């Protein structure tokens, strides 16, 4: 094949690979949507210069947002004539610095309504010790970018909260910011909430809401950017953003702007909830330089409710239970109790069991089996017994029945009363307060399984610190409280900690404060969570540390942070990078700011290696990755250091990769340098290194496959077969993006296109090159316009179904191939060695009469940089080859007459750094006549997939 002859683009693996049939059968359609024709533009100079330059480009656009800030000067625009200009033209203007395709951001939020608990997570972080000193964040202003806030909720009645709503008109935000989603209300209560039932981290601080989500949990990053810049302009003391996507590229616009703001204001992001996907799922925004990315830790308590068993002997037992979804059993009815040995073995009964509650051991069956037995035997529900270590929040589907868990100690009392032939009844307290049951399973106080893992695609340390976020309580939209989980709630916890610290210590340089938070963290043990029956069971290994690329530098330790008199002057962590960019030594610098001499002892805490991928096709390992009992070779040159009061010193550390390591599995080695002072100061400095070449861990796994899906399933396309873009005649292109690529594209090329002759940039004038395509995504029912920038990664093959050129115009009849190309991480778009190129097999497109209509009424002209169609009612339908011949003839004639056609390339290049490589076929005829057919074709396609 051609790609095998193209030496600079050889894959990481030496041998060719192929997809197994089961991989193709299980392949999911690609689902990657972006706001159509919306772009974020950054200017070099002024608005006036840029708008003059854009006007000279005949660009038809409306402005969605103006960004005028020292952190970012530019605007987001909606393009109205995408087929008639190129972003390459815009990027060539001296007034333009960069351009990005706008993207969607969706909240991951679900809460279970309940009343508030008489518990708090502050004891495990040390926040309670600060509250004991009557420090609550007074005088500190916190900015929250989220979904709004329920200003009528009791948790906020002690504050006058202001804010803006950017969802209707980001250029002129409204001053009302009511929450329609609930996420912002919950987040805000963790920072400033205060009532009889809950206390936030910094209830004395003031909060301003910058609403970016409307009635849905999805928004766009250009709206977030407007809110973030507005917050920055008002100079808050800390900014909290519990949002993002798992495309952790530091070159995304939110990441860039957050990095700039973090130089003067602390910026805190949620690390993300993609932990089940494994390493390399850092979140956008949170991957910025200098920000704080926060992981989640599980709570140490369960919220519980009260119930009472009453015996005919007169004895009573009041006990705590955990209700279905954590909710109270809301009934004042008194039920008869029927005891059985095991709730998984409820016997068939023909009696009337209405008003009866079954009580028995939980057993090992599925929730659905218990539900079916309860329903078929007409019981009102079941309260089940488990050991204290198995207490969890039950999740039963039947909310019209009663379900709950309690401990085996209740079973002992019940059996004793029943042995005396007493009858037992049960009632449920209806008060709106409840208590707490100690959580003693392996997850208590450990890192949450859902927390997104690092490192970033650029091998940066990620996440940075952890805070309570698993099974936490917060204000519920509309009143009351609810329980929810996510790094979205760990993020505001850290924002609250910052508010507390600044309230007591005054102004602190943001990066100094960031180092203090990270380096005072407490490392957590390794906790592996797996599905068990119908809940998550966690096994904890106290002899091993959780990986740094999961926990960061551990749980925030407020007491240590407050008491630390040593000021860390160097970076809060050290990056040894991948093998192409290896750093083998680093220096930890710090100052003794205590009033006395301090002797520091320095040692290395060892950690296991994490293998982040498999060794064959090198897909990123999903949760739980493989650990290797192998240690980096660490030499600390100064194991003891004496510093006088007010003096500075440093420690030199040299690190080499472990000796026993399998580079094919992309291992990440890690460790922590612990520094302990004689005055009680103690802090840690983590490091990570990647023992592989990130650049050679190429994005595309193997040769993409072009297949057809018919009634018999997937098969190869026959040589003589003619394809179109109708149901059962549309090809499916299977490929995998296993590692990061800042630009990935599927392009249409003529059959004679030769990869070995590629010259960059790829233009439409490139021989036999036609341009990027648009594909249909069956999963979402939407289309995907290539190229894709900041590509997400996949854990296996995915597929798209080509429909048209990227700008939406139809592909004419002819013989073609698809060109799949991906830019390697750290790659330069101008360097051909930094790309992967693959060609599919040839295929024939033969359009139906209706599809050919637009070609029958136009003739194609090939110009300097692109194709387009010119209206000519008398021009007959031509083949693709005839189009090219005619285009060349017309181009020569135009040159002779000096009538140079101004032809514009398509709207496909999305990043300034990636300019000039993504061009398209453009058409100037009105395509509106094809819209009814396109809609009918889409409907037929959806029906085909449905049935």
Classified as helix, coil or strand, 920 is coil
The dihedral over CA atoms of 618, 619, 623, 627, expressed in degrees to the nearest 10, equals: 10
Establish whether 18 is a catalytic residue. no
Classified as helix, coil or strand, 836 is strand
Rounded to an integer, what distance in angstroms lies between the CA atom of residue 575 and that of residue 455? Answer: 10
Residue 689 and residue 574 in contact, taking contact as beta carbons nearer than 8 Å: no
> Which one of the listed residues 122, 131, 183, 458 is annotated catalytic?
183
Cα angle: 164, vertex 168, 169; to 5 degrees = 80
Establish whether 146 is a catalytic residue. yes
Q: How many CB atoms lie within 10 A of CB 644?
A: 11
Classified as helix, coil or strand, 89 is helix
Phi, psi of 843 (to 5 degrees): -150, 160
Instruction: Give the torsion sign (CA, 748, 751, 753, 754).
Output: positive
DSSP state of 96: E
Rounded to an integer, what distance in angstroms lies between the CA atom of residue 209 and that of residue 270? Answer: 17
Classified as helix, coil or strand, 5 is helix
Residue 314 and residue 505 in contact, taking contact as beta carbons nearer than 8 Å: no
Establish whether 488 is a catalytic residue. yes
| Sheet strands (E) in 477-571 | 481-484, 525-532, 535-545, 566-568
> Which one of the listed residues 206, 304, 482, 488 is annotated catalytic?
488
Please give the full DSSP string across 662-720, using - where no structure is assigned.
Answer: -GGG-EEEEEEEEEEETTS-EEEEEEEEE-S-TTTS-SB-S--EEEEEETTEEEEPPTT
DSSP-assigned beta bridge partners for residue 713: 710
Rounded to an integer, what distance in angstroms lies between the CA atom of residue 463 and that of residue 535? Answer: 26
Residue 606 and residue 643 in contact, taking contact as beta carbons nearer than 8 Å: no
**Which residues, 6 or more positions from 581, have their beta carbon under 8 angstroms from its beta carbon?**
459
> Which one of the listed residues 88, 89, 112, 146 is annotated catalytic?
146
**Which residues, 6 or more positions from 388, have their beta carbon under 8 angstroms from its beta carbon?**
407, 408, 438, 440
Classified as helix, coil or strand, 32 is coil
Q: Which of 644, 678, 673, 684 is nearest to 561 (CA)?
A: 684
Rounded to an integer, what distance in angstroms lies between the CA atom of residue 320 and that of residue 407? Answer: 8
Rounded to an integer, what distance in angstroms lies between the CA atom of residue 440 and that of residue 392? Answer: 10
Rounded to an integer, what distance in angstroms lies between the CA atom of residue 525 and that of residue 543? Answer: 7
Q: Report the b/e string of 34-53 with b at 16+ CB within 10 A.
A: bbebbbbbbbeeebeebeeb
Q: Which residues are catalytic?
A: 146, 183, 488
């Amino acid at each position: 094949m051609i790609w095998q002859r193209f030496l600079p683009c050889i894959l990481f693996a030496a041998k060719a690979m192929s997809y197994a049939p089961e991989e193709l059968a299980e392949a999911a359609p690609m689902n990657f949507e972006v706001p159509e024709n919306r772009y974020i533009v950054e200017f070099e100079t002024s608005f006036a210069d840029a708008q003059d330059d854009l006007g000279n480009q005949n660009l038809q656009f409306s402005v969605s947002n103006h960004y005028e800030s020292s952190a970012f000067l530019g605007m987001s625009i909606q393009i109205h004539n995408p087929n008639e200009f190129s972003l390459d033209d815009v990027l060539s203007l001296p007034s333009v610095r960069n351009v990005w395709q706008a993207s969607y951001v969706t909240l991951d939020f679900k809460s279970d309504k309940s009343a508030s608990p008489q518990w708090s997570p502050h004891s495990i972080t040390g926040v309670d010790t600060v509250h004991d000193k009557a420090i609550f964040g007074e005088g500190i202003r916190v900015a929250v970018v989220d979904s709004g806030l329920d200003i009528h909720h009791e948790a906020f009645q002690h504050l006058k909260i202001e804010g803006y709503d950017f969802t209707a008109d980001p250029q002129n935000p409204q001053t009302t910011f009511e929450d329609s989603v609930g996420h912002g209300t919950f987040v805000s209560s963790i920072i400033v909430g205060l009532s009889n039932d809950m206390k936030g981290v910094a209830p004395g601080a003031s909060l301003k809401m910058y609403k970016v989500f409307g009635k849905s949990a999805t928004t766009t990053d250009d709206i977030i950017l407007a809110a973030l810049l507005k917050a920055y302009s008002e100079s808050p003391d800390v900014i909290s953003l519990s949002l993002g996507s798992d495309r952790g590229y530091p070159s995304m616009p939110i990441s860039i702007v957050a990095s700039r703001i973090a130089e003067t204001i602390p910026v805190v992001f949620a690390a993300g909830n993609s932990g089940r996907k494994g390493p390399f799922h850092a979140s956008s925004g949170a991957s910025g330089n200098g920000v704080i990315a926060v992981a989640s830790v599980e709570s140490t308590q369960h919220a519980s409710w009260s119930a009472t068993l009453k015996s005919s002997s007169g004895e009573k037992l009041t006990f705590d239970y955990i209700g279905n979804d954590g909710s109270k059993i809301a009934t004042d009815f008194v039920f008869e109790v029927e005891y059985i040995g095991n709730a998984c073995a409820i016997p068939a009964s023909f009696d009337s069991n209405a008003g009866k509650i079954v009580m028995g051991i939980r057993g090992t069956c599925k929730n659905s089996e218990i539900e079916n037995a309860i329903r078929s035997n007409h019981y009102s529900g079941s309260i089940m017994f488990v050991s204290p270590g198995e207490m969890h929040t039950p999740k039963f589907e039947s909310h019209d029945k009663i379900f709950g868990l309690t401990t085996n100690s209740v079973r002992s009392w019940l059996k004793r009363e029943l042995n005396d032939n007493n009858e037992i009844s049960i009632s449920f307290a209806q008060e709106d307060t409840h208590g707490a049951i100690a959580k003693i399973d392996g997850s208590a106080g450990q890192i949450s399984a859902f927390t997104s893992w690092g490192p970033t695609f650029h091998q940066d340390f990620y996440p940075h610190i952890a805070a309570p976020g698993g099974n936490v309580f917060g204000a519920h939209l509309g009143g009351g409280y609810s329980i929810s989980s996510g790094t979205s709630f760990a993020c505001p916890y850290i924002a609250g900690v910052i508010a507390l610290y600044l309230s007591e210590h005054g102004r602190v340089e943001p990066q100094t404060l960031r180092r203090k938070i990270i380096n005072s963290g407490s490392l957590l043990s390794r906790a592996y969570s797996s599905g068990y029956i119908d809940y998550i069971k966690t096994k904890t290994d106290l002899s091993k540390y959780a990986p740094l690329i999961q926990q960061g530098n551990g749980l925030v330790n407020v007491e240590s942070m407050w008491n630390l008199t040593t000021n860390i002057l160097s970076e809060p962590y050290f990056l040894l990078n991948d093998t192409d960019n290896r750093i083998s030594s680093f220096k930890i610098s710090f100052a003794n700011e205590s009033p006395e001499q301090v002797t520091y002892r320095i040692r290395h805490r060892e950690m296991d290696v994490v293998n982040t991928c498999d060794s064959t096709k090198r897909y990123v390992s999903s949760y739980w990755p493989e650990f290797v009992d192998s240690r980096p070779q660490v030499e600390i040159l100064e194991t003891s250091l004496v510093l006088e009061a007010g003096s500075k010193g440093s420690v030199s550390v040299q690190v080499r990769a472990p000796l026993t390591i399998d580079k094919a599995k992309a291992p990440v080695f890690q460790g922590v340098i612990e520094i302990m002072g004689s005055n009680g100061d103690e802090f840690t400095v983590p490091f990570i290194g990647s023992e592989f070449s990130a650049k050679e861990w190429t994005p595309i796994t193997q040769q993409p496959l072009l297949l057809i899906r018919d009634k018999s399933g997937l098969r190869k396309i026959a040589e003589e077969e003619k394809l179109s873009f109708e149901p059962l005649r549309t090809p499916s292109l299977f490929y995998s993006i296993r590692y990061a690529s800042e630009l990935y594209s599927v392009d249409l090329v003529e059959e004679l296109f030769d990869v070995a002759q590629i010259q960059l940039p790829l233009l439409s004038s490139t021989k036999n090159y036609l341009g990027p395509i648009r594909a249909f995504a069956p999963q979402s029912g939407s289309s995907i316009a290539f190229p894709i920038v900041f590509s997400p990664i996949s854990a296996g093959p995915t597929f798209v179904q080509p429909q048209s050129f990227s700008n939406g115009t139809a592909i004419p009849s002819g013989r073609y191939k698809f060109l799949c190309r991906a830019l390697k991480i750290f790659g330069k778009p101008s360097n051909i060695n930094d790309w992967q190129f693959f060609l599919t097999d040839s295929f024939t497109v033969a359009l139906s009469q209706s599809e050919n209509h637009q070609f029958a009424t136009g003739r194609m002209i090939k110009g300097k940089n692109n194709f387009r169609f010119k209206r000519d009612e008398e021009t007959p339908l031509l083949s693709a080859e005839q189009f090219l011949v005619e285009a060349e003839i017309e181009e020569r004639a135009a040159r002779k007459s000096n009538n140079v056609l101004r032809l514009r390339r398509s709207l496909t290049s999305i990043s300034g750094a990636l300019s000039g490589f993504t061009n398209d076929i453009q058409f100037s005829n009105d395509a509106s006549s094809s819209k009814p057919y396109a809609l009918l074709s889409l409907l037929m396609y959806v029906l085909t997939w449905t049935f």
